């Protein structure tokens, strides 16, 4: 049996399940923007209690993590992404490919996407001027990078 036949057999097994639940699925249902805003405010509040100006989160294709939860980017498939949350909201950090993917869904959460060189695919050289992590951290904290309190950890 070839790969195509195997795939068709797998589809035949799954199709009855899809048909059974299809009437109950609302394809237009999505997490509303105000829910993403509530999540960001909750994290900002927790950061303020620890006197921490920014927080960092991470996600990749194996660990969906907090980037989709805070930034609406549920399509983490191309490369690793990170997020920075601070006074100015949630900022998604990605390489070029991941940045283009993130830009498709980030608006629903009000997240800003930054393409940074440190998260690009290995050995790729892109014809763009990537942002510096320090600049994104400063934007998220709404203060110069040199003024951001560094954690002793």
Q: Using one digit for the tens of pLDDT, what is the confidence trace for 36-70? A: 999 999 999 999 998 889 999 988 777 777 888 89
43 Cβ neighbours under 8 A, 6+ residues apart? 55, 70, 85
User: At 48, phi and psi to the nearest 5?
Assistant: -60, -35
* Residue with the larger pLDDT of the pair 41 and 104: 41
Residue 86 contacts residue 44 (beta carbons within 8 Å): yes
The string of pLDDT tens digits covering residues 117-126 is 775 555 666 6
Question: Does the pLDDT value for residue 90 go beyond 80?
Answer: yes
Q: What is the domain range of residue 97?
A: 33-147
Can you give the CATH number for the domain in which 90 is found? Answer: 3.40.350.10
Using an 8 Å Cβ cutoff, are 58 and 68 in contact? no
Summary mean pLDDT of the chain? 86
Query: Which pLDDT belongs to residue 99?
Result: 84
User: Percent of the chain having pLDDT more than 70?
Assistant: 88
Q: With respect to residue 152, please indicate whether it lies within any of the assigned structural domains.
A: no
**Stretch 70-78: mean pLDDT, rounded?**
73
The total domain count for the chain is 1
The answer to whether residue 135 scores a pLDDT higher than 80 is yes
Q: What is the reported pLDDT for 56?
A: 92
Contacts of residues 21-26 at CB distance under 8 Å and 24 or more positions apart, as own/partner, are none
Q: Give the least confident one: 12-16, 35-39, 74-78.
A: 74-78
% of the chain beyond a pLDDT of 90: 44
């Amino acid at each position: 049996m070839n790969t195509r036949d195997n795939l068709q057999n797998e589809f035949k097994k799954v199709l009855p399940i899809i048909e059974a639940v299809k009437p109950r699925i609302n394809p237009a249902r999505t997490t509303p923007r105000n829910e993403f805003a509530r999540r960001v405010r909750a994290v900002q509040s927790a950061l303020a209690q620890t006197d921490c100006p920014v927080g960092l989160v991470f996600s990749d294709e194996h660990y969906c993590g907090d980037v989709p939860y805070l930034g609406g980017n549920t399509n983490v498939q191309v490369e690793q992404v990170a997020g920075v949350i601070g006074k100015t909201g949630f900022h998604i950090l990605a390489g070029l490919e991941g940045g283009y993917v993130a830009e498709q869904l980030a608006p629903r959460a009000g997240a800003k996407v930054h393409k940074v060189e440190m998260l690009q695919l290995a050995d790729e050289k892109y014809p763009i001027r990537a942002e510096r992590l320090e600049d994104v951290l400063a934007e998220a904290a709404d203060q110069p990078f040199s003024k951001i309190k560094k954690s002793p950890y």
